[in-house]
Structure 1
Amino acid sequence: MLASVLTKGMRGIAYAALVVLLAACGLPPVGPGFYRVERGDTLNKIARDNRQSVQSIVRWNGLSNPDAIEVGQVLRVAPPARTSTSTAAATSSPPRARRPAPVAAAPDNTPTPAAVPAASISLVWPANGKVIRGFDGKDSKGIDIANAEGTPVVAAAAGKVVYAGNGLRGYGNLLIIKHNGDYLTAYAHNHALLVKEGQTVTQGQQIAQMGGTDNDRVMLHFELRYQGQSVDPARNLPPR
């Protein structure tokens, strides 16, 4: 599997490279007050460009490690909307002929919740075989399915091939399919690729043959991404 052939540093480089590729595939723009992390960004640079302090951005986004931002990650770079805590009291008490109390702002240290898919996607299993590793969002960004070399690999959903090649170290012969503005799937370590970039594929269509390129065993490494962020494919796959 991927973890067994990469050192921790090289695995980080490979995942960062994949995130760059996935994040570039038609992600929707972020709203006012937010920023999507790009390649080469640091938290210091983002804070400086948006005239904010690093501490404020860390607090608004609930970041436990300021050095662990990823390409494609959406960050709040403007203070959350403030509300008055004196409104309720004003409606329940008669007016007084004295200077009104200062408006108290709501605390702004509530972490921004992680992005939750606004719409689901229905997938089919990309290959037959035994699931030998599941998704954990940290060391494993997808699931690993083991079987014999040449086992058919199929498109988990209809879409367009946006990458077909072996230019990302640690992934071997890799395919990436864009399904809509939100979702992409990735298929790694293939023995042979049967489709090309720009080609439209249907759900269940064979796109590759399982292999062990850039890996120590034959298997398919399968990833699902929502707006550039890895999510657990098992949640969108039918039970076996």
Structure 2
Amino acid sequence: MRRLVPLLALGLTACIPSARADPPGLFDAPAPAAEAPAHADDPPARRPSPSDTDAPIRTVALGDTPSTPPQVADPPAAWVARKVVPDAVDVPEGRYTVQPGDSLRRISDRTGAGSEAIARANELAAPFIVRRGQVLRIPGGRYHHVRAGETGIAIARAYGTAWDRVIALNDLAAPYVLRLGQRLLIPSAKEVRQMTLEERAAAFKLDIDDLITGSEPALAANAKPAAPVRTARRAVPSTVPVQAPTRFTGRFDWPLSGPILARFGPQGQGRVNEGINIGVPAGTPILAAADGVVAYVGSEIAVYGGLILIKHGGGWITTYGHAEQLLVTRGQAVKRGQIIGRAGETGSAREPQLHFEIRQGRRPVDPFGQLPRRG
């Protein structure tokens, strides 16, 4: 079930188990005619925050409009959730005997079940070997065949379910990049029909965790994520995932200076802030807190208005909300102290401010523990 986040709950492709994308061709090694082994496929965490201390609890559905739309640099933000056709195939539980020349990929194609699901069901560990005559259990379920440019968020919504439910079913982990041709296990039609009205509504809410884990488009076979661009005037195509830094070797600085309107953590009456809110005059430059690559720019999460997410490597991510102007684009490499936008009163903000978060993977951490002490 999707997590409910008090205080401005809001809500928005994924990867494979083992916290990595499988190398091209790893699923394609055939089983030999003899008894010698062959390599098979390699089988392969949601919440917003307050804009001010007395903000009401609210949820925002896809399509809500921020109170003050942010200005976006030219070219516009490059994030697009491509429409997904919900044509999943129901695969019955069964058994399959490995034939000469079979690979886990071929077995997946023949049965309709996902390679990763077959590997998990049969406890296939690295180097994921299949042998001629081996009997594999084929896990039944509803499988969606991932197509070019599809994101995890869009796939989940096409079936009326929450993206974090799909994450759980497929044991997905960072870097959450789907593979073109991957068969993704989807909740059954019966499970979706039995969802409560609250669960159905929650499945269509966007949040920062969704953006972190489910906004990247599927990666084509034998392809690599796009290299970062140097300027906002060049955008990584929305159909290509962005290459994020592998390590975080720097430090975090304050994105701007101003009075703290809301601190990290519980705010009373069941509300929680997953970052801090800093009051500043409208138009104040927002600075990148550390070197990194822009993972998202836009205003799909209405309560945040203009929103920027930056990946810094090592699972570290910073978020910047309520911007009135967005000056970077998805896939752009930025340096610590670089101006990425201008603070404003967009979204649900009741006065000009910046909502700032630091996350380690899917977990928000108190920015005061990572930033220099204020003088």
TM-score w.r.t. the length of structure 1 is 0.55
In the alignment, structure 1 residue 133 sits paired with structure 2 residue 262: yes
Q: Aligned letter for 2:320?
A: Y
Match runs of 1:10-89 below 5 Å: 10=59, 39-41=163-165
CA distance in 2: counterparts of 1:3 and 1:220, whole angstroms: 10
CA distance in 1: counterparts of 2:52 and 2:282, whole angstroms: 20
Shift of 1:220: 0.2
In the alignment, structure 1 residue 158 sits paired with structure 2 residue 291: yes
- Corresponding position of 1:175: 308
RMSD: 3.6
The number of residues matched between the two structures is 154
- Corresponding position of 1:105: none
CA distance in 1: counterparts of 2:301 and 2:54, whole angstroms: 14
- Corresponding position of 1:29: none
**What stretches of structure 1 of length at least 5 have no aligned partner?**
15-20, 22-31, 50-69, 74-118
Q: Is residue 345–residue 352 contact of structure 2 (8 Å, CA) maintained in 1?
A: yes
CA distance in 2: counterparts of 1:155 and 1:220, whole angstroms: 12
Q: Aligned letter for 1:179?
A: H
Residue aligned with 1:223, SS:
strand
CA distance in 2: counterparts of 1:160 and 1:191, whole angstroms: 21
Among residues 304, 311, 334, which one is paired with 1:201 in the alignment?
334
Shift of 1:132: 1.5
- Corresponding position of 2:279: 146
Q: Aligned letter for 1:132?
A: L
CA distance change for structure 1 residues 197 and 8 in 2, over 3 Å: closer, same or farther? same
Q: Aligned letter for 1:127?
A: L
- Corresponding position of 2:253: 124
- Corresponding position of 1:223: 357
Q: Aligned letter for 1:234?
A: F
Q: Which deviations, in whole Å up to 9, do the C-alpha atoms of 1:23-67 show, x marking residues without a partner? A: xxxxxxxxx99xxxx72529x979xx9xxxxxxxxxxxxxxxxxx
CA distance change for structure 1 residues 122 and 5 in 2, over 3 Å: closer, same or farther? same
TM-score w.r.t. the length of structure 2 is 0.36
Q: Which deviations, in whole Å up to 9, do the C-alpha atoms of 1:72-116 show, x marking residues without a partner? A: 99xxxxxxxxxxxxxxxxxxxxxxxxxxxxxxxxxxxxxxxxxxx
CA distance change for structure 1 residues 164 and 146 in 2, over 3 Å: closer, same or farther? same
CA distance change for structure 1 residues 149 and 225 in 2, over 3 Å: closer, same or farther? same
Q: Is residue 128–residue 151 contact of structure 1 (8 Å, CA) maintained in 2?
A: no
- Corresponding position of 1:66: none
CA distance in 1: counterparts of 2:273 and 2:57, whole angstroms: 12
CA distance in 1: counterparts of 2:52 and 2:253, whole angstroms: 25
Shift of 1:145: 0.6
- Corresponding position of 1:236: 370
Q: Aligned letter for 1:128?
A: S
4+ residue segments displaced more than 3 Å: 3-7, 70-73
Shift of 1:210: 0.9
In the alignment, structure 1 residue 2 sits paired with structure 2 residue 2: no
In the alignment, structure 1 residue 210 sits paired with structure 2 residue 339: no
Q: Which deviations, in whole Å up to 9, do the C-alpha atoms of 1:152-203 show, x marking residues without a partner? A: 1100000011111111121100010111141110000011011111111000
Q: Which deviations, in whole Å up to 9, do the C-alpha atoms of 1:110-157 show, x marking residues without a partner? A: xxxxxxxxx886211001111121111661000011010011110000
Q: Which deviations, in whole Å up to 9, do the C-alpha atoms of 1:7-28 show, x marking residues without a partner? A: 53417x79xxxxxx9xxxxxxx
Residue aligned with 1:196, SS:
coil
Shift of 1:2: 2.3
Q: Percent sequence identity over matched residues?
A: 32
CA distance change for structure 1 residues 195 and 5 in 2, over 3 Å: closer, same or farther? farther
